[in-house]
Amino acid sequence: MLWFIGLGITGPDSLSARAQKIVSESDVVYLEQFTSPITDAETQKIRELVRGEFKLGPRWLVEDGREILETAKEKNTVLLSYGDPYIATTHIELRVRAIQQGIKTDTIHASSALTSLIGECGLHYYKVGKTVTIMSTIPSTTAYYTIFENLKLGNHTVVLLEYNQNKSFFLEPVAAFESLLAAEKEQARKAISDSTYAIVASRIGFPNQSITAGNIGSMLNEDFGEAPHTIIIPGTMHFTESDALKAFARCVDAPEDNTSKIQKISAQMMKKYVPMVRRALEQIAPHYKDTKEFASVLENAELYIRDAERFFEQGKDELAILSIGYADGLVDALRIAKGIEPEM
Amino acid sequence: MLWFIGLGITGPDSLSARAQKIVSESDVVYLEQFTSPITDAETQKIRELVRGEFKLGPRWLVEDGREILETAKEKNTVLLSYGDPYIATTHIELRVRAIQQGIKTDTIHASSALTSLIGECGLHYYKVGKTVTIMSTIPSTTAYYTIFENLKLGNHTVVLLEYNQNKSFFLEPVAAFESLLAAEKEQARKAISDSTYAIVASRIGFPNQSITAGNIGSMLNEDFGEAPHTIIIPGTMHFTESDALKAFARCVDAPEDNTSKIQKISAQMMKKYVPMVRRALEQIAPHYKDTKEFASVLENAELYIRDAERFFEQGKDELAILSIGYADGLVDALRIAKGIEPEM
C-alpha cells in the first residue's frame, strides 16, 4: 500500500486526524523534500508522529522510485510531501508505476500554494492562465511568451521561481524580473516593461506571509524577505480584484491593468501597415491615372484597406492582416512596375 | 475576528486539529453551503464540533454579508466552506469588506477540487489554462472560445458545471457536451466535435470517486453517476499524462491529442491561400513573360509565398498571413490589369 499525503501549505500542523493516524500507523514514512523546503522543526514534528520507520526522500530517491515501490509492495508506506501531492508530476509518475505493479494507492489531498496564493492576493481563480517557472540557468523566453499569450486573453499568470534543494537555492523575485526584462529586449513583443504591474506573494501560509504589488520598475530594489516567493503578472483586473489587492497587499503602486499596455502583434501590424499602404496608394495613384486597366487595381486596394480596418474592429485579426497584406501587394505591384522607390 | 476556514474536498474529517479547535472555540460558526453541496451527515458532524452558535449560510446571507460582518465585529466568528475558501470570489469580497471595516481576518486553506482533480486525472497542473463554467441557462459560447484558445496553446481546460443550491441542480456532463457541440454548430471554428477527447471527473475526494475518459461522441450515452462532476478537455498530452490517465481512469477510448484536431485560423488560411496564390502565379506568368518591368513583381510574389511558409513554420503566424496576403496582392494586381478571371 502506498499513500500520497499532502502536508498542505502550513506543514504538519495542518494534517487532519485521519492523515495523522495513517502516518502514525504506517510501517514506513518517506518525507519528500525537494519540491519545497521543509524546516527542521517541521521535520522533527513529523518524525515524532511516525511510529514506524522514518526516511527522508531526496529527489533522486523519489524520481528513481524503486526503493519506495519495493517497500510499498510489502509494507504500508506513506510518501509525505509539501502542498497537494500531485502538483509535482514526479508523484503522479510514481503513482502510475505503483498501479502498474499492482500496488494499492490512495491519496490525502491538502492545500496548495497555487490555489491559496491567488485568493490571498485577491484575484479570481478562474482568470488564471497557464503557469510558468523561471529558472536561473536558462533565459525566460518561454515564461515571457506564456505571459504574453495570457495577457492577450486577459488572464493572470502565476510565475513560479526556481527552487533547488541541493543548493538551498531560491530564485529571487528581482532576478526573475530582470530575466523577463532581458527577454523583452530580445523578443521585443512589448509584453513586459518597467511599467508592467506585478505581485510578489512571499511565504504564503507562513506566519510572516507578505504580499507586495507594484510596477516592476518600482520593485527592482525591493527586499521581499525570505523565500519562498511567487510572482503573479495580473491580466485584466475586475474592480473587486483591484480593491481586494489594495486591502490584502502592500501596493507600492496603485493596481494597473497590464492588458492595456500590451498590444497584440496584429494590432502592432495594423498600426504600422494601414497608414503605410494608404500613403503608398496616394503616391502611386497619379502615375496610373490615365491607365484604365490599372485604375481598378487601385480601387480594389482602397476597398481592401477599408476591409482590413473593419475586420480588425470585429476582432477578426487574421482576416484583417490578410486584407492589409493583399492591399499592400496590389499597390506595390504597380509601384515596382514603375520602378518607384517607396516613401519612408 | 472573522476566520475563513476551508473544509477541503473531503469535508469535516479533513479539518486539522488546529482548525477544529478554532471552530470549536468560536462564538458563531456559519456553514456556507451554496458553492458546493454538503451532506446532512457532514453538517451534523460540524454542528457537533461547534460549542458556540451554529448557523447555515445560504447564498443571500453570505453575499449580503452584513449579518456576518456585524457578528464578527463583536464575536469570534468562522465562515466554513467547502474546498479552499477563496476559490469563491464571494469569500474574497467578504474578506475585503471585513478588512475595510477594521475586522481582523485569518484563513485556513484546504484542498481544492480544482488542484486535486488535475492530479487525480494524471494531468500536469502547469499545463492548465483558463477555467470556465457551463450553465444550463446560457449558450456555452464563452466556454467554447476559452477551450479553443486553450487548445491553440496546447493547454488543458477545466470545465466546471453549474450548481444551484436552491434547486439542488447540477448540470450533467452530457448536457455540457451537447451545449459545446451546439456552440460548434453556431461558431464553426472546428474546436469541438464528437471526436474531441474529454475527461469526466466525478465525485473527486468522495469514497466513490470515478474518472471516465473518451471521445465526446462515445460518452453522450454514458451514465456518470451522482454529481458533482467536472469535465477536462485536455490539450497536448505528454506521454506520461496519457499513461497516467490510462492507469487512473476508465478510458472508453484511448487518450488522444485534441490539439491535432483543431486548426488555428492562421493554419486554415495558409492551407487555403498558399496553393491558391501559387496557381494564380503560374496562370498569370505567361501573360507577362515579355514585360520586363512586371517580371520583378512576379519574382517578388514567389519570394513572398516562400516567406509566408517559412514564417508559419517558425510560429510567426501574423507575419505568415501578411506575407501570403501581400503575394496574393502582387499577383492579383497583374491579373486584374489583364482582365483575367481567377481559376477556381
> Using an 8 Å Cβ cutoff, are B12 and B49 in contact?
yes
> Using an 8 Å Cβ cutoff, are A219 and A174 in contact?
yes
Q: Please check whether residue B143 lies inside any domain of the structure.
A: yes
Q: Please check whether residue B343 lies inside any domain of the structure.
A: no
Q: Please check whether residue B64 lies inside any domain of the structure.
A: yes
Q: What residue has cell string 516593461?
A: A193
For B53, phi then psi, to 5°, come to -90, 135
Between helices B317-338 and A265-284, what is the axis angle to 10°?
20
CB atoms within 10 A of CB B147: 30
For B334, phi then psi, to 5°, come to -75, -35
Strand-pairing partners, residue A5, are A80, A108
Say yes or no: B243 and B318 in one domain: no
For A263, phi then psi, to 5°, come to -125, 135
- The CA distance from A255 to A212, in Å, is 11
Q: In sequence order, which ranges of chain B are alpha helices (DSSP H)?
A: 17-25, 40-49, 59-64, 66-74, 89-100, 113-120, 141-152, 173-187, 216-219, 239-248, 265-284, 292-313, 317-338
The complex scores an ipTM of 0.83
Say yes or no: B150 and B181 in one domain: yes
The model's confidence at residue B112, banded by pLDDT at 50, 70 and 90, is very high
pLDDT value for B343? 65
Residue B193 Cα to chain centre, angstroms: 16
Q: For residue B33, which amino acid is it?
A: Q
Name the range with the highest mean pLDDT among A264-268, B226-230, B333-337. Answer: B226-230
pLDDT value for B38? 82
Strand-pairing partners, residue A16, are B16
Q: Which of B96, B130, B247 sits opposite A100 (nearest CB)?
A: B247
Q: Please check whether residue B342 lies inside any domain of the structure.
A: no
What distance in Å separates residue B234's CA from the closest CA in chain A? 13
Say yes or no: B155 and B51 in one domain: no
Mutation for B interface: A2, A79, A93, A109, most B CBs within 10 A: A109
Q: For residue A255, which amino acid is it?
A: P
Say yes or no: A272 and A327 in one domain: yes
Say yes or no: A238 and A311 in one domain: no
In tens, the pLDDT along B12-38 reads: 988 999 999 999 999 999 999 877 778
Say yes or no: B152 and B98 in one domain: no
Q: Which of A132, A301, A329 sits opposite B325 (nearest CB)?
A: A329
Question: What is the chain A residue with the closest CA to B146?
Answer: A153
Mutation for B interface: A2, A18, A89, A317, most B CBs within 10 A: A89
> Using an 8 Å Cβ cutoff, are A97 and A20 in contact?
no
Residue A301 Cα to chain centre, angstroms: 42
- The CA distance from B124 to B237, in Å, is 9
Q: Please check whether residue A342 lies inside any domain of the structure.
A: no
pLDDT in tens, chain A (344 residues): 999 999 999 889 889 999 999 999 999 999 998 777 788 899 999 999 999 999 999 889 999 999 999 999 999 999 999 999 999 999 999 999 999 999 999 999 999 999 999 999 999 999 999 999 999 988 999 999 999 999 988 999 999 999 887 788 899 999 999 999 999 999 888 899 999 999 999 999 888 999 999 999 999 999 999 999 999 999 999 999 999 999 999 999 999 889 887 877 888 899 999 999 999 999 999 988 888 888 889 999 999 999 999 998 877 889 999 999 999 999 999 998 888 877 65
Nearest alpha carbon to residue B92 among A201, A211, A241, A111:
A241
- Say which CATH number the domain at B36 has: 3.40.1010.10
Q: Please check whether residue A126 lies inside any domain of the structure.
A: yes
User: DSSP string covering A103-129, please?
Assistant: --EEEE----HHHHHHHHTT--GGGB-
pTM given for the model: 0.83
- Cα atoms found within 13 Å of the Cα of residue B163, Cβ hemisphere only: 16
Say yes or no: B94 and B220 in one domain: no
What cell does A261 get? 499596455
Give the CA-trace dihedral at A87, A92, A93, A96, to 10 degrees.
Answer: -170
- The CA distance from B272 to B263, in Å, is 12
What distance in Å separates residue A331's CA from the closest CA in chain B? 8
Say yes or no: A257 and A302 in one domain: no
User: DSSP string covering B45-100, please?
Assistant: HHHHH-SSEEEEE-HHHHHH-HHHHHHHHHS-EEEEESB-GGGSHHHHHHHHHHHH
Say yes or no: A269 and A248 in one domain: no
Question: What is the chain A residue with the closest CA to B6?
Answer: A111
- The CA distance from B140 to B318, in Å, is 28
DSSP state of A266: H
pLDDT value for A178? 97
> Using an 8 Å Cβ cutoff, are A9 and A114 in contact?
no
- Say which CATH number the domain at B311 has: 1.20.1270
Residue range(s) defining the domain that contains residue A291: 265-337
B329 with A325: Cβ contact below 8 A: yes
Say yes or no: A251 and A145 in one domain: yes
Question: What is the chain B residue with the closest CA to A151?
Answer: B130
Nearest alpha carbon to residue A149 among A169, A129, A125:
A129
In chain B, the number of structural domains is: 3
- The CA distance from B32 to B244, in Å, is 35
Average pLDDT of B236-246? Answer: 95
Residue B327 reports pLDDT greater than 60: yes
Residue A286 Cα to chain centre, angstroms: 53
Q: Please check whether residue A344 lies inside any domain of the structure.
A: no
> Using an 8 Å Cβ cutoff, are A77 and A26 in contact?
yes
User: DSSP string covering B115-147, please?
Assistant: HHHHHHTT--GGGB---EEE-SSS--HHHHHHH
Q: Which of A244, A326, A339 sits opposite B328 (nearest CB)?
A: A326
> Which residue, of A240, A261, A282, is where some domain finishes?
A261
pLDDT value for A250? 97
Angle at A221 between CA A218 and CA A226, to 5 degrees: 115
Say yes or no: B135 and B94 in one domain: no
Between helices A141-152 and A173-187, what is the axis angle to 10°?
80
- The CA distance from A300 to A285, in Å, is 12
A325 with B330: Cβ contact below 8 A: no
> Which residue, of B111, B139, B167, is where some domain finishes?
B111
Q: Please check whether residue A343 lies inside any domain of the structure.
A: no
- The CA distance from A265 to A267, in Å, is 5
For residue A65, CA distances in Å to A30, A54, A77, B70, B146 come to 11, 16, 13, 53, 38
Looking at beta carbons, which residues of chain B come within 8 Å of A127? Answer: 130
What distance in Å separates residue A94's CA from the closest CA in chain B? 10
In tens, the pLDDT along B35-73 reads: 777 888 999 999 999 999 999 998 899 999 999 999 999
What distance in Å separates residue B143's CA from the closest CA in chain A? 12
In tens, the pLDDT along B124-137 reads: 999 999 999 999 98
- Say which CATH number the domain at A213 has: 3.30.950.10
> Cβ neighbours of residue A21 under 8 Å, at least 6 residues apart?
none
Question: What is the chain B residue with the closest CA to A12?
Answer: B16
Q: CB under 8 Å, gap of 24 or more: what pairs does B283-290 form? A: B283/B335, B283/B340, B283/B342, B283/B343, B284/B331, B284/B334, B284/B335, B284/B338, B284/B340, B287/B334, B287/B338, B287/B340, B288/B334
Say yes or no: A311 and A189 in one domain: no
Q: What residue has cell string 477527447?
A: B197
A296 with B111: Cβ contact below 8 A: no
The CA radius of gyration of chain B, in Å to the nearest whole number, is: 28
> Which residue, of B111, B132, B153, is where some domain finishes?
B111
What distance in Å separates residue B339's CA from the closest CA in chain A? 8
Residue B189 reports pLDDT greater than 70: yes
List, edge to edge, every strand of the sheet that includes A28-32: A53-57, A28-32, A77-81, A2-6, A105-108
Question: What is the chain A residue with the closest CA to B293?
Answer: A337
Looking at beta carbons, which residues of chain B come within 8 Å of A326? Answer: 325-326, 328-329, 332
Burial class for B160, CB neighbours closer than 10 Å (0-12, 13-18, 19+) = buried
Nearest alpha carbon to residue B109 among A140, A125, A146, A239:
A125
Q: For residue B291, which amino acid is it?
A: T
B109 with A131: Cβ contact below 8 A: no
> Using an 8 Å Cβ cutoff, are B336 and A300 in contact?
yes
